[in-house]
Structure 1
Amino acid sequence: MTTDNKSVVQRALAELIETGGVDALERSLSDDFVHHRPDSTSSTRAEWLAAVQAALTPLADMRVDVHHLLADGDHVVMHSRRRLPDGGPEIAVVDIWRIDEGLIAEGWEIIEPVARAAANLMWWEPAEH
């Protein structure tokens, strides 16, 4: 089952990158898909697909390096680093996907700019003014 779940995520993301459109991704999402962000906001399937579609043009040349793709039960976790060409900013991303009946039912995403990662290692320290 976990291999099948990893395949669902791999196929959806590969088709998104290959086609440059959300149609293939849309077919991989359940009707009641919900996407969660670290700021406690969530978006519906339609809202998230619209946001992904809007980001495809400005991020068309983004490089995505997947470092880990792990599955445990109905969850798939992907750790990647993404960067824009020509020395643009780089981010580290952790996506968590919940698979239900062969479709992506929920997603969580955490993004950290790599340039600021060291400062976040001691997040509990008071900020200097």
Structure 2
Amino acid sequence: MTTDNKGIVQRALTELIGTGGVEALEPLLRDDFVHHRPDSTSSTKTEWLAAVRAALPPLAGMRVGIHHLLADGDHVVMHSRRQLPDAGPEITVVDIWRIDDGLIAEGWEIIEPTAQAAANLVWWEPVER
């Protein structure tokens, strides 16, 4: 089961990056798909696909390096680094996907600009103003 779930996430990313469009991604998501952001906001399948569609033109040519793809039961976790072409900024992303009946049901993501990672290692320290 976990191998199948990892394959679903790999296929979704491959379709998105390979085609540059969300049309191939859409059938891999449940109709009641929910995407959660770190700021506690959530979006529906339609809202999330619209946001991904809007982000694709500026992200054309983005390189994605998957460092970890782990599955446990119905959850798949992917740790990746993504960089825009022409030495654009690099981000580190952790995506968590919940799979239900062969489709992606929920997603969570954390995105951190890689260049700012060192500053975030001491997030609890007061910021000087």
Q: How would you bin the TM-score normalised by the shorter chain?
A: over 0.9
Match of 1:92 in 2: 92
Q: How does 1:99-114 map to 2 (within 5 A)?
A: 99-114=99-114
Q: What is the alpha-carbon distance in structure 2 between the residues aligned to residue 6 and residue 71 of structure 1?
A: 6
Unaligned runs of at least 5 residues, structure 1: none
> Which structure 2 residue ranges, 5 or more long, are not aligned?
none
Partner in structure 2 of residue 55 of structure 1: 55
Let me know the Cα RMSD of the aligned residues.
Answer: 0.6
Separation (CA, whole Å) in 2 of partners of 1:128 and 1:14: 43
Q: Distance in 2 between matches of 1:12 and 1:89?
A: 23
| Structure 2 equivalent of residue 36 of structure 1 | 36
Ranges of 4+ aligned residues in structure 1 off by more than 2 Å: none
CA distance in 1, matches of 2:56, 2:86: 18
How far apart are the structure 2 equivalents of 1:110 and 1:9? 16
Alpha-carbon distance in structure 1 between the residues aligned to 2:88 and 2:120:
20
The CA distance in 1 between the partners of 2:34 and 2:48, in whole Å, is 8
Q: Normalising by the residue count of structure 1, what TM-score does the alignment of the two structures yield?
A: 0.98
Percent of aligned pairs with the same amino acid:
81
1:6 matched to 2:11? The reply is no
Distance 2:85 2:24 in 1: 25
SS of 1:24's partner is: coil
**In 2: Cα distance, 1:8 partner to 1:24 partner:** 12
Question: TM-score, with normalisation over the residues of structure 2?
Answer: 0.98
